[in-house]
Structure 1
Amino acid sequence: MTAKFIRFSAIAAALIAAVVLLGLAVGAGWTQAADWQVSHSLAIRVDASDPAFIAFMQGISWIGSGTPRWIIVILLCGLVWHWCGPRCAVALGGASLLSNLASSLLKLGFARARPDLIDHLDHQTSYSYPSGHATSAATVYLLLAWLAPPRWRPYAWTLAATMIILNGFSRIMLGVHWASDIAGGTMLGTAFALLGAWWVARQRADA
């Protein structure tokens, strides 16, 4: 077992443990005051907001949901296959699927209700914690940045930061997630991105 594996797996395990602990804190009501304050400050009031801004945030949220999300994942799998071979594509696709499954199972386990501060500006039927959008954004774009060739890596990291931040803010502003949902989803997605990066790095080390 290499030092890199121990480091990557330890960080991923710590992040997953943090997601569970944060979920327990959420269930105990310890994050309620902070969540309410953030959501009250950021949630979009339709009667006082620019329709173009609302549409922009809905567009960002749409990109990270359902069919659009998986189309992007498939396209990025093709890109990383071109960059570093089929193992990279399997890592990105597998990490995306597994993180989505983990997010769905944790939602059922914690069963947190969605915010009700404003009328939701995006249709949702599932529970709130952790955010599936935040999980997916962190998994897909962080792993893409780790797999990118050196000359493309600065752009990939910029894309990752932009998508993670915009995605998180859009979910809070549209009234469908609390800030702690975004934090939990981002940590969960980062854990799976780390595991995907390690899986690819292990092959390179063995080659």
Structure 2
Amino acid sequence: MTKGGHVIAKIDRLPVIAAALLLTTILLGFVVGAGWTHAADWQISHGLAIRADESDPAFVAFMQWASWIGGGTPRWIIVILLCGLVWHWCGPRCAVALGGASLLSNLASSVLKLGFGRARPDLIDHLDHQTSFSYPSGHATSAATVYLLLAWLAPPRWRPFAWTLAAAMIILNGFSRIMLGVHWASDIAGGTMLGAAFALLGAWWVAKHRATA
């Protein structure tokens, strides 16, 4: 097989991996629904959840900021700005990939929430207002989609920094959702896998075009 053939073969694996991640997200949802993760979820949340009347207000505010990067209006402002950045890096197709993956992953998360209908944790008073169901975490989904895809689309010289940023944002956002009392750990795991699936699809769509151009 030629070098170009090897490259195309590797690219064609991306949607397969994305499909596997999506399937695993759905299977985890059924596991969660059966109650098999309850004990582990409870222990993690009990250990990490913060209580406003017992915690430093500055720390609570920091966790709320870390949470906002994955949801609500701040998320879409960040996505729009990053779309402009990746357009500058690699053209309009990259911007469409980032924006489209962000929108589609958010829609998929909302559909799965309705399908599984998992209640939010009730260990503490929620430190972030939420009205939707719990599994999978939409914030974790968005953080994984946006920052993983950003790392894949970054120019080679910026890629180490972009991967470090992606890891930091995904981990910080995930912990913040548990600490604010609005998600279980399994919600974060499911959302992260779902977001990674859409990031892979976005990367595949861009890489496929480059390989065949």
Range that drifts further, 139-148 or 46-55:
46-55
Distance (whole Å) between structure 2 residues aligned to residue 6 and residue 173 of structure 1: 38
1:41-52 matches, within 5 Å, as 41-52=47-58
Q: Which residue of 1 aligns with 2:69?
A: 63
Distance (whole Å) between structure 2 residues aligned to residue 167 and residue 68 of structure 1: 13
Distance (whole Å) between structure 1 residues aligned to residue 157 and residue 143 of structure 2: 22
Runs of 5+ consecutive residues of structure 2 not aligned to the other structure: none
Aligned counterpart for 1:191 among listed residues 194, 197, 206: 197
How many pairs are equivalent?
207
1:135-150 matches, within 5 Å, as 135-150=141-156
Q: Which residue of 1 aligns with 2:43?
A: 37
Aligned counterpart for 2:17 among listed residues 11, 36, 42: 11
- 1:104 matched to 2:133? The reply is no
What amino acid sits opposite 2:74 in the alignment? P
- 1:172 matched to 2:190? The reply is no
Distance (whole Å) between structure 2 residues aligned to residue 60 and residue 113 of structure 1: 22
What amino acid sits opposite 2:203 in the alignment? A
Distance (whole Å) between structure 2 residues aligned to residue 3 and residue 98 of structure 1: 25
Distance (whole Å) between structure 2 residues aligned to residue 44 and residue 75 of structure 1: 32
The answer (yes or no) to whether the contact 2:12–2:204 under 8 Å persists in 1 is no
Q: Which residue of 2 aligns with 1:182?
A: 188
**Identity %, equivalent residues:** 85
Distance (whole Å) between structure 1 residues aligned to residue 198 and residue 62 of structure 2: 28
Normalising by structure 2, we get a TM-score of 0.95
Deviations 1:68-107 (A, max 9, x none): 1001000000000000000000000000000000000000
1:122-137 matches, within 5 Å, as 122-137=128-143
Secondary structure (helix, strand or coil) at the match of 1:30 reads coil
Q: Which residue of 1 aligns with 2:30?
A: 24
Q: After the TM superposition, which parts of structure 1 deviate over 3 Å for at least 4 consecutive aligned residues?
A: none
Secondary structure (helix, strand or coil) at the match of 1:152 reads helix
1:106-121 matches, within 5 Å, as 106-121=112-127
- 1:79 matched to 2:85? The reply is yes
How far the C-alpha of 1:63 sits from its partner, in A, is 2.4
What amino acid sits opposite 1:204 in the alignment? R
How far the C-alpha of 1:136 sits from its partner, in A, is 0.2
Aligned counterpart for 1:90 among listed residues 80, 83, 96: 96
Distance (whole Å) between structure 2 residues aligned to residue 19 and residue 77 of structure 1: 27
